[in-house]
Chain A
Amino acid sequence: MNRAGPMVVVCVSPTDLRPEVDPLSAAVETDDRRCDLNAAEAAALEHGLRIAESWQGWVLVVCHGPIGADAVLRDLIGLGVEVVRVVDADHDSPLRPARRTRPAAELAGSPERVAAALARVIRHRGRPALVLCGDRSAATGVGAVPGFLAAQLHLDQALGLVSVVIDGPGRLLVERRLDGGWRERLQVEGPAVLSVEGAGVRLRRARLEDALQASQAAVEVDVEAAADGAAPGGPAADRTPAGHPGPGTWSVRPFRPRTRPVPAPQGDPHERLLVLTGALSTREPARVVGPLSPAQAADELLAYLSRRANGGNEPSGLNRRA
């Protein structure tokens, strides 16, 4: 890793991947010793390592997690990355037991607050060439941190990526899923925040000697991040500093489904719901129509579905021969 080269930042949040859930209260019991990266974060780190190697740069891992995550972070140090753990007052209380039970809603914390704390650490280290995250944390995360992080760092974002391909120094080709089986391919140049799904790559393992050396390494802790971290980030466009080169990400052959006007629904919503679901109305009694050949059975099914779909009218769009 070349410390003089571009800085690739990977944000991780090790959590207990096998928490126990109380079937009655839904409280979640976590054990810090079971902390690990989820598949998406592991993929983000592997992408980060490959990109840093290709761009002749280095990787900074910024972690938002409990003290118990230090064992995981030492293993990452064995991969040759620099690691900083963001202190969280809730996570890092010395009185807090490694194993504890909490309501599920408390697991992930506020994504805005987490992103602010991560952004602060990143800013302290300089301007990143790239920031990679997993698409969501395993601790009931909703995938909002990367977006907040982009806003905090005034960077563009490409989220939910399934493929990241290095397209030369400082350039990437990335893909993400769209509805209907479509994919969007983006060319990324310049600093951006990317979040990736846990697919396509497998995180490498540290060499034995590196792992041994790292097993006794100290994990750097940023103690001020949490205190400042609550500052909410506004829209990135409002905060773009002077001299910022502007968007460095644009889409190539994007899929843009055309919009079409849909008339506003008429009438009472309750009545419409009753009509749509058929609730409280006379139901069609079950009847035996067999035995039938497969073709006849298919016709029967289509006819039934057509009747249901058209409120008893003749089918219009259904192709009976389909």
Chain B
Amino acid sequence: MTFDAVVVGAGPAGSAAALALARAGRSVVMVERGPFPGSKNVYGGVVYGRILDEVIPRWWEEVPVQRWVVRRSTMILTDTQAVTLDLRSQAWGREPYNGMTVLRADFDSWLAGHAVDAGARLLTSTVATGLLRDASGRVCGVRTDRPDGDLRARVVIACDGVNSFLAKEAGLMARADAAHVTLGAKEVLALPAEVIEDRFGLGPHEGLDIEAVGGTSGVAGGGFLYTNRDSLSVGVVVSLEELAASRRRPEELIAGFKAHPAIAPYLKGAFLKEYSAHLIPEGGYSTMPPLAADGLLVAGDAAAMTLAAGIWLEGVNFAIGAGLAAGRAAAEAVAAGDVSTAGLGSYRQALERSFVLRDHKRLRLAPQLVLSDRMQTQYTKVLGDIAEELFTVTNPEPKPGLLRIIWRSLRRHRVRGRDLLRDGLDTARTFR
């Protein structure tokens, strides 16, 4: 039995790829290792669904949303200070909406259901253990862990997540590099819906997304807090290398973040439902593998398509965008009878035209910049001190000038002028 395409992984990228292939009239199988799509996923965050407009009209009427995000807070935390930029927009709580908190077990099942409705087959509880190759070395299917488990296809789309074994086996990705991944550790805390709404100033279906820089006990990274319907997702995302060097456990860092004076009051009375942790490919554009080989495409986390650019933390929308492009490119290549690397080249071209690679390329310096030591430790303290001094009333002394406050804070934290200048230029270049 040979299919036009096999998609490994029924996450957002895989389901989007299968949906595009099935709608193009191609036979496609999704191979999912969990008992149902999303069952293995630990993500509980914000999904930006605009990319779904082109494939599922009025998706917001059926998507399994927890809350529509109408408040977005960006916090800069030191041990005792928090500087917060809090944005609220009621427009985000109306059609066509902006971001939503979701539980991936629900969201992935929903998206995979659309692919199945379009004609894709879903094979669950099955692990793709390796690639099949023909005599010329071209990828022609996957080997699974089932008896007689060779599954042949003209194109394989690897959406098997961060640390993709298929991309590695194909030679597209070197062995895992701890410098290019972060560790996300998360707790889901139960809290009644009405308490969430009172505590965070939200309406019945409205949600809040807090992203924090710092607050991770000196390990480079940040924290997050998302409101679900009747639970909170709270956790940290930290540099894997620094976490290992610190010899601390991720749950200690979560405990530290939860105990921060700016976070703890939000969590009062909540109790733990679930703890989970997962690697996140935050290396960005410069760490992406080649996206195609003969008979093979790579999409989603497997291709390091998570955008971690400080104020923007997005992944699912990039995965869906890449999956759709991969599915369309595979369908075209199969129709043309050329599934070589060149024949599948339209995948990269499509991504370069879309937000997926354009955003990553433009923000390629952001991951290193955000996780740099100065940004994580010195600048957060400088900003905290400046804000604190600015709003501290020192009567009968007159108010100091802003430049004087900035200068004093920079000196107190030993920030060198040339570093500040260089980082300022890098920031301007990155976010221009």
Contacts and interface: CB of A to CB of B under 8 A. Distances in A.
Interface string B18-39: 0000000000010000011001
A206 B146 CA distance: 7
Interface stretch (B83-91, B123-131, B317-325): B123-131
A211 B121 contact: no
Interface in B113-160: 121-126, 144-151
Contacts of B150: 208
Contact of A208 (B39, B148, B273): B148
Contact of B122 (A20, A36, A204, A215): A215
B109 interface: yes
B271 interface: yes
Contact of A33 (B35, B125, B146): B35
A interface SS class: mixed
A203 B173 CA distance: 36
Contacts of B122: 215
A98 B122 CA distance: 19
Given A34-B35, A71-B36, A211 B123 contact: yes
Contacts of B105: 31, 33
B147 A208 contact: yes
Contact of A205 (B35, B121, B147): B147
A261 interface: no
Given A33-B39, A36-B35, A71 B147 contact: no
Interface string B160-174: 000000000000000
Contacts of B147: 204-208
Given A33-B105, A36-B35, A212 B148 contact: no
A319 B146 CA distance: 59
B96 to A, nearest CB: 26
A23 B271 contact: yes
B428 interface: no
A75 interface: yes
A34 B109 CA distance: 12
A195 B61 CA distance: 47
A212 B29 contact: yes
A138 to B, nearest CB: 15
Nearest to B37: A33
A41 to B, nearest CB: 15
Contacts of A71: 35-36, 124
B132 to A, nearest CB: 12
Interface in A215-233: 215-216
A268 interface: no
A271 interface: no
A309 to B, nearest CB: 44
B146 A207 contact: yes
A33 B121 contact: no
A284 interface: no
A179 interface: no
A91 to B, nearest CB: 18
A75 B35 CA distance: 10
A238 interface: no
Interface string A11-31: 000000000100100000001
Nearest to B143: A208
Contacts of B271: 23
A238 B1 CA distance: 55
Nearest to B106: A99
A33 B109 contact: yes
Contacts of A205: 145-147
A206 B149 CA distance: 10
B149 to A, nearest CB: 4
Contacts of A204: 147
B121 A216 contact: yes
- Closest 5 interchain pairs by CB? A208-B146, A208-B149, A207-B148, A33-B36, A207-B147
11 contacts: A20-B273, A31-B105, A33-B35, A33-B39, A205-B146, A205-B147, A206-B146, A207-B149, A208-B123, A215-B121, A215-B122
Given A207-B149, A212-B121, A215-B122, 9 more contacts: A23-B271, A71-B36, A71-B124, A75-B125, A205-B147, A206-B147, A207-B146, A209-B148, A211-B126
